[in-house]
């Protein structure tokens, strides 16, 4: 199935039914009085997170979603039937925002979580409500209110504990294949990863974490170079970033320090909060460096990059250093208090009427 992580849709809630102006008409009951019922409520449109979905492809083609109108009221005190609500099933991690104002309407981060996207119109009142001691035969009634109409943007943000970051061909897909059961495409040319992938990493039987791999970044991604930086949204919920660096690039004139700085710059351009997330440097492809030169190559990179944080030396292809990296990540996640994973404040979710 094609991976689609963004879609624009329109939602049209149903109109409320009109109230009724009616009078009781029965044999031997003169002047029976008003008996017009109310109109029913229009159908609302809700979004519900479903863990069985992993793409927004359904909403790439079905862009307009309408709910039915409520029934009109009738005589003999008969109220109109309310229209059923429409529920749009979306993957867990979907963020819904208003396309015109940019306001975040819902952040569906848990399976089964539900939010109201467009409220149905309230039904009108029948003339039964307008009778009084001075107005015993009211002919007044009200129309149903229109339902809400909105243009919405759906964005899928993957739920992962750790995110991989780096240049194309830095070895991100090879690493996630080495430490998990995920099998993303691996090849000897740039941009083999075209969409994000997730892998569950097991430190032991009862401990593990979710690792996210996204397409590689290059310098100028903020201006649209390469695949752009729109995939960085999938790292917004992570608690730790792994910055993979190819310590032995094959390209003539390639400089690992310059490439690493370009990644950090693109990360900061995209989101300052994402830039401030805990980040470790992982020097990959150490197997391509002669053993007698490895220590000097690592020291030269760390000094040129000016990195004083945590760093690891691995070979994702041979597995060297991967086990130590996995256990260090597991200890870090267990040490850190569990916080809300998204960047910024969690938006308030509009609750449905049934809640």
Predicted local distance difference test score (pLDDT) of residue 235: 80
Q: Which of 95, 125, 156 is the last residue of a domain?
A: 156
How many domains does the chain fold into? 2
The predicted model gives 4-22 an average pLDDT of 91
Q: What is the pTM of this model?
A: 0.70
Cβ contact 124:16 at 8 Å: yes
Q: Give me the CATH number covering residue 281.
A: 3.40.50.300
170 in the same domain as 152: no
Q: How far is C-alpha 338 from the geometric centre of its chain's CA atoms?
A: 19
Predicted local distance difference test score (pLDDT) of residue 354: 43
166 in the same domain as 303: yes
Give the range with max mean pLDDT: 74-78, 143-147, 211-215, 322-326: 143-147
Predicted local distance difference test score (pLDDT) of residue 256: 86
- Average pLDDT in the chain: 83
Domain assignment of residue 351, yes or no: no
Domain assignment of residue 20, yes or no: yes
Give the range with max mean pLDDT: 35-39, 56-60, 134-138, 198-202: 35-39
151 in the same domain as 244: no
Residue 49, H or E segment: strand 45-50
| Total residue count of the chain as it appears in this document | 355
Q: Give me the CATH number covering residue 142.
A: 2.70.210.12
Cβ contact 96:117 at 8 Å: yes
282 in the same domain as 169: yes
CA-wise closest residue to 93 among 355, 349, 351, 342: 342
83 in the same domain as 60: yes
308 in the same domain as 285: yes
202 in the same domain as 330: yes
Domain assignment of residue 293, yes or no: yes
213 in the same domain as 113: no
pLDDT at 342 over 50: no
200 in the same domain as 329: yes
Q: How far is C-alpha 282 from the geometric centre of its chain's CA atoms?
A: 27
- pLDDT tens digits for range 159-195: 788 888 888 878 888 888 888 877 766 655 455 555 6
Domain assignment of residue 340, yes or no: no
Residue 256, H or E segment: helix 256-270
Separation of alpha carbons 315 and 285, rounded Å: 5
Residue 163, H or E segment: strand 162-166
Domain assignment of residue 217, yes or no: yes
| Structural domain that includes position 272 | 162-335
pLDDT at 229 over 60: no
229 in the same domain as 115: no
Model confidence band, residue 18 (pLDDT cutoffs 50, 70, 90): very high
Predicted local distance difference test score (pLDDT) of residue 117: 94
Domain assignment of residue 324, yes or no: yes
Q: What is the CA radius of gyration of the chain?
A: 29
Model confidence band, residue 308 (pLDDT cutoffs 50, 70, 90): confident
- pLDDT tens digits for range 280-291: 999 988 888 888
Domain assignment of residue 354, yes or no: no
250 in the same domain as 109: no
152 in the same domain as 167: no
Domain assignment of residue 78, yes or no: yes
């Amino acid at each position: 199935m094609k991976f689609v992580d963004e879609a624009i849709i329109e939602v049209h809630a149903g109109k409320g039914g009109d109230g009724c102006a009616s009078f009781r008409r029965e044999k031997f009951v003169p002047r029976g009085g008003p008996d017009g019922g109310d109109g029913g409520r229009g159908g609302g449109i809700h979004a519900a997170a479903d863990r069985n979905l992993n793409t927004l492809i359904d909403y790439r083609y079905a862009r307009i979603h309408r709910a039915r109108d409520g029934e009109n009221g009738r005589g003999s005190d008969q109220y109109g039937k309310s229209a059923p609500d429409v529920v749009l099933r979306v993957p867990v991690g979907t963020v819904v925002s208003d396309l015109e104002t940019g306001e975040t309407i819902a952040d569906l981060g848990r399976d089964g979580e539900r939010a109201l996207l467009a409220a149905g119109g309230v039904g009108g009142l029948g003339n039964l409500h307008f009778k009084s001691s001075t107005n015993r035969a009211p002919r007044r009634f009200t129309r149903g209110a229109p339902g809400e109409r909105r243009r919405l943007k759906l964005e899928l943000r993957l739920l992962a504990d750790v995110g991989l970051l780096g240049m194309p061909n830095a070895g991100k897909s090879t690493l996630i294949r080495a430490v998990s059961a995920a099998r993303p495409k691996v090849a000897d040319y740039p941009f083999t990863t075209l969409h994000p992938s997730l892998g569950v990493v097991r430190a032991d039987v009862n401990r593990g974490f979710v690792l996210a791999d996204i397409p590689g970044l290059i310098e100028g991604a903020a201006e649209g170079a390469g695949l752009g930086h729109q995939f960085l949204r999938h790292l917004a919920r992570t608690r730790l970033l792994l910055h993979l660096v190819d310590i032995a690039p094959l390209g003539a004139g390639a400089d690992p320090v310059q490439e690493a700085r370009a990644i950090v710059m693109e990360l900061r351009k995209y989101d300052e909060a994402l830039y401030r997330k805990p980040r470790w440097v992982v020097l990959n492809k150490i197997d391509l460096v002669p053993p007698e030169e490895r220590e000097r190559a690592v020291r030269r990179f760390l000094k040129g990059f000016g990195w004083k944080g945590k760093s690891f030396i691995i070979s994702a292809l041979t597995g060297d250093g991967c086990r130590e990296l996995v256990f260090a990540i597991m200890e870090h996640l267990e040490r850190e208090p569990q916080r809300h994973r998204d960047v910024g404040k969690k938006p308030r979710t509009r609750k449905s009427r049934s809640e």
